[in-house]
Amino acid sequence: MKRTAAELAVAIGARVEGDGAVELRGVAAPERAGPHDLIYVEAAKLAERVAASAALCVIASEGVDITGGSSLVGGSKKTVLRHRAPKMAFAKAAAFLVEKTPIAAPGIHATAIVAPLARIAAGVSVGPYAVIGEDVHVGEGAQIGAHCVIAAGCFIGAACRLHPRVTLYGGVRLGDRVEIHSGAVIGADGFGYAPGEGRYWKFPQAGLVEIGDDVEIGANATIDRGSLDDTRIAEGVKLDNLVHVGHNVKIGAHTVIAAQTGISGSSTLGHHVVVGGQVGIADHCTLEDEAVAGAQAGIPTGKTIRGGQTVWGTPAREIGKFKKIYVWYARLPELAERVKELERRSNEIK
């Protein structure tokens, strides 16, 4: 996947400084890069790393000086691709320079089991011992890894990538270009029970899971099917490893959720929400558009986090208020000693 610097600049919306004919073949960190690897720098304080790199081309923001005398490589200055957001531009560039490793060889492996009524489009790859049930639709160019299980009635869009040992329960629907990493389980029954007569009665889990285009789901993540409604994940959502999404949850477009977060049933997250690692979201909560929940925040049942607000702590509070509380919390041992001293003096006076 070779590109010239000039071709790449057009693709990512950057401005070229220097030789646009430089050939690029991959991406790397500055210290590991070869001459034909692309690198990036966001801050001037990191420019020395770039200057010492063997790479001939770098993405940098407008204010960063890369082309000084110390940045000569083999007698030539580095080509610079100027972009307002170097890290984002680097990520976009990587899509043009780094080819994804195939999950399965072209075609259907001899050990795979494909039901007679499954519909497999052109260019699909199915790995060893995968199982595809009746009435499953697999879109063009999709890749299904070894030991995946796709239950009856699932719909898998074009160019999806299911890594080994992914499980889709019946009726799960994936949009186009969805990537699901190993061990993920999509569409299991939600945790729904009705207490009565001295026991718990299983509540119906009859809904579906619908996942939009360009979603990525991390390893060992779990997404439960809806109860009487559906669980829906909109386009562009990114779920880290070990994230759990409960039944009837709705997650808006381009929301990102870090590892070990749990979202209880019937909660709603808006678009472009950011959720840190190990956050606990109880049932029937709402995180409005562009809200941020810091790592290990605990959001109690029914709470609403307003759009654009950042919260932290348990129970979750606006981050400014949390910091003030935490300052006093850190001083509790000191304050306790002062109270003890005041009590001692009071007793002496008596």
Active site residues: 247
Q: What CA–CA distance (Å, rounded) separates 214 from 222? A: 18
Task: Quote the tokens at residue 185.
Answer: 């389980």
| Residue 173 φ/ψ region, left for φ over 0, alpha for ψ in the -120 to 50 degree band, beta for the rest | beta
Q: What CA–CA distance (Å, rounded) separates 222 from 263? A: 11
Question: Quick check: 183 and 201 in contact, CB under 8 A?
Answer: no
User: Distance of CA 83 to CAs 52, 54, 59, Å?
Assistant: 21, 21, 7
CA dihedral defined by 336, 340, 341, 343, rounded to 10 degrees?
Answer: 140
Question: Quick check: 158 and 175 in contact, CB under 8 A?
Answer: no
> How would you classify the pairing of strands 280-281 and 250-251?
unpaired
Task: Quote the tokens at residue 9.
Answer: 């600049």
Q: What CA–CA distance (Å, rounded) separates 278 from 15? A: 40
